[in-house]
């Protein structure tokens, strides 16, 4: 009998380690959010939607900030159904348009009283240009969120303690900020090839980490804290615009074997948004529900400051 118990214990232990390895760490916070309001950008699908479901379940009023009204309203139904809550609304936000970001902020500030958690989750992995002539990945992944965050900051300060969570990626490690290229092309890289898209996406994700680094400094003493994170490799629609052959032959089999589901993908976002006691880590980068060291370029004070100043100009904030 005792051998059996020991055997069972070992099996359960191994399964738990295996599960943790396969699915990654889980957000342990039991935090409830009744009376709190959160915004999740790009929440009509993928990691954003899984994040919205969890936050709604905890009792928050959840604003799904999405660019497409039909997909956004369909997502409201899904999030309501999966969370069993009714306090979920769609508000139109196209991060590829500075006008849309400003309109969103204006309507939000007029119609909503609080903002406790802002989740900058939306992202694109494709070449293109925004309404304002910026590179699409730089414009959506960074500049749109930069402007959105700044326009909502006063409300977040008024609702402090509050948090700003920006979804970056492991690929930020491959990013580099070439400001000469930015001046000429309003994007940190050029080109249309699969590799070009990979690099330019990586640059935009480095922007997410540096933005959070600088923002934390500017928020010192306000009780508004901010975090960037890597959600892990997750099966979502993110690669929907890549080469069909690449997707079918390479990405799909790899994703089926190694990528995690969207619930797993939401865990580090949730950790940054909810975990008690991480306020002293404001400005840092998280992965697998824990703070991580980053390369020098991802915590370079001068670089982060320069990016902030350029972003102010390009977003029309200054």
Ligand X SMILES: NC(=O)c1ccc[n+]([C@@H]2O[C@H](COP(=O)([O-])OP(=O)(O)OC[C@H]3O[C@@H](n4cnc5c(N)ncnc54)[C@H](OP(=O)(O)O)[C@@H]3O)[C@@H](O)[C@H]2O)c1
Active-site residue list:
201
Note whether 222 and 157 are within 8 A (CB): yes
* Coil, helix or strand at residue 160: coil
Interaction of residue 160 with ligand NAG, rule CB under 6 A: yes
Residue nearest to ligand NAG (CB): 223
Helix, coil or strand: residue 140: helix
Distance of CA 15 to the CA centre of its chain: 30
Cis amide prior to 161 (ω within 30 degrees): yes
How far is C-alpha 183 from the chain's CA centre? 26
| 158 touches ligand NAG by CB under 6 A | no
Question: Among 24-32, 176-184, 234-242, 274-282, which window interacts with ligand X (CB under 6 A)?
Answer: 234-242
The β-bridge relationship of strands 285-287 and 290-292 is antiparallel
The nearest distance, CB 283 to ligand NAG, in angstroms, is: 17
Is residue 118 left, alpha or beta, with left meaning phi > 0 and alpha meaning psi from -120 to 50? beta
Distance CA 230, CA 251 (A): 19
Tell whether residue 45 is a contact of ligand X (CB under 6 A).
yes
> By CB under 6 A, which span of 39-47, 76-84, 176-184, 283-291 interacts with ligand X?
39-47
Residues constituting the chain: 318
Stretch that binds ligand NAG, among 29-37, 173-181, 219-227, 282-290 (CB under 6 A): 219-227
Q: Which is nearest to 119 in space by CA: 61, 224, 48?
A: 48
The H or E element that residue 162 is part of is strand 162-167
How near is the Cβ of 226 to ligand NAG at its closest, in Å?
Answer: 15
Binding mask 142-181 for ligand X (x = CB under 6 A): -------------------------x-x------------
Binding ligand X by CB under 6 A: which of 231, 270, 282, 294? 231
Residue count, binding to ligand X (CB under 6 A)? 29
**Residues interacting with ligand X, by CB under 6 A?**
41-42, 44-48, 66-68, 71, 93-96, 121-124, 140, 167, 169, 230-231, 233-234, 236-238
**Residues interacting with ligand NAG, by CB under 6 A?**
160, 221-223
């Amino acid at each position: 009998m005792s051998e059996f118990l020991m055997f069972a214990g070992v099996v359960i232990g191994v399964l738990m380690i295996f599960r943790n390895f396969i699915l990654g760490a889980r957000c342990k916070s039991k935090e409830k959010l009744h009376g709190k309001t959160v915004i999740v950008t790009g929440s009509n699908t993928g990691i954003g939607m899984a994040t919205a479901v969890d936050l709604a379940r905890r009792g928050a009023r959840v604003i799904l900030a999405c660019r497409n009204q039909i997909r956004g309203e369909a997502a409201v139904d899904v999030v309501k159904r999966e969370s069993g809550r009714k306090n979920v609304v769609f508000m139109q936000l196209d991060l590829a348009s500075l006008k849309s970001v400003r309109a969103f902020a204006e309507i939000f500030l007029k119609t909503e009283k609080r903002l406790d958690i802002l989740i900058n989750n939306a992202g694109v992995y494709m070449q293109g240009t925004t309404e304002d002539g910026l590179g699409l990945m730089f414009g959506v992944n960074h500049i749109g969120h930069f402007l959105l965050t700044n326009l909502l900051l006063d409300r977040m300060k008024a609702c402090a303690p509050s948090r700003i969570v920006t979804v970056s990626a492991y690929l930020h490690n491959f990013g580099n900020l070439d400001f000469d290229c930015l001046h000429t092309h309003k994007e940190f890289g050029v080109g249309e090839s699969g590799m070009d898209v990979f690099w330019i996406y990586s640059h935009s994700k480095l922007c997410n980490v540096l933005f959070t680094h600088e923002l934390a400094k500017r928020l010192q003493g306000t009780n508004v804290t901010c975090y960037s994170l890597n959600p892990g490799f997750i099966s979502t629609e993110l690669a929907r615009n890549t080469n069909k052959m690449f997707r079918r032959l390479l990405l799909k089999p790899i994703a089926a074997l190694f990528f995690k589901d969207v619930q797993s993908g939401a865990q580090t976002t949730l950790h940054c948004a909810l975990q008690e006691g991480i306020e002293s880590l404001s400005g840092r980068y998280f992965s697998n529900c824990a703070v991580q060291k980053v390369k020098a370029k991802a915590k370079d004070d001068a670089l982060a400051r320069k990016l902030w100043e350029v972003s102010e100009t390009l977003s029309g904030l200054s």
